[in-house]
Structure 1
Amino acid sequence: MEFQRLSKKSSVLFRNKAYVKKFDLERDFGIVFRWIPWAEEALRFSVVIAKCAKCSSVMRNAIKRRIRHCFFLIFPYVTVPVGVVCVVKNRFIMDLSFSDLLSLFEDFVRNLKITYLQRQCDNNKVGKENG
């Protein structure tokens, strides 16, 4: 299985989209969430700081702490067993206010639940047709 992008809505862009070619959009997102269904009944979460962020280890650790803190505030609302990877591609994520970052995580969790439930329903329909 591969990690799947949830949607473009679950990413934050730090440049004006009008000046960016389509294939450059993925590279310029400040934060990207990727997820995979998890076999266990637990949630897994990790944070990755991309090399293109070009920041020091102190800055990387500060970004990771901030993102982990946001995630642990949202953690009780995640009821689906998935593995989530948060990829930070731009050091300007530190310019976002904490409330903006928290609302971004809330949107991600909301979209994740909807997408996960839709895929479960689709899998159940396929299983009933085959069985």
Structure 2
Amino acid sequence: MEPDDWNGSEALPRLSAGGEALSLWLGDTMRHYDVHYARDGQELCRFRWGAEPDGDSSPLAGLLSGLSLTSGLPSWEALESGLPSFDEWKVHALILVERITGVRLTRQWLSREHTRFVQGPHSRDARPGGDLWL
């Protein structure tokens, strides 16, 4: 996972150097749902709910089988159109992440302690005195 702000766009390619990295953003407030995929230091594609994929998703072709990550509509409209609702899209995005990483994001997995690297400074990281930490 990576920051969901301007810092994220540069972090993903660096995180993928010599391998693969994913960024999954589920922003329920504004209905912004994105999966970004990078390999060997380069972002290859982005899946966004309600839109066609950006970039080259061909490296993931075999992993996308049975998933609807292209376009979507709100649940009430999806019923009539046959397109995935945003809830279905989120499930399919998590399945894709699991297929790529081999890790299922369960409650148990999320509740365990994990290594993290904090990228900063960011205004939300300001101490009460106003100083940013690095």
Tell which has more relative contact order, 1 or 2 (C-alpha 8 A, sep 6+).
1
Length-normalised TM-score, structure 1: 0.30
Length-normalised TM-score, structure 2: 0.29
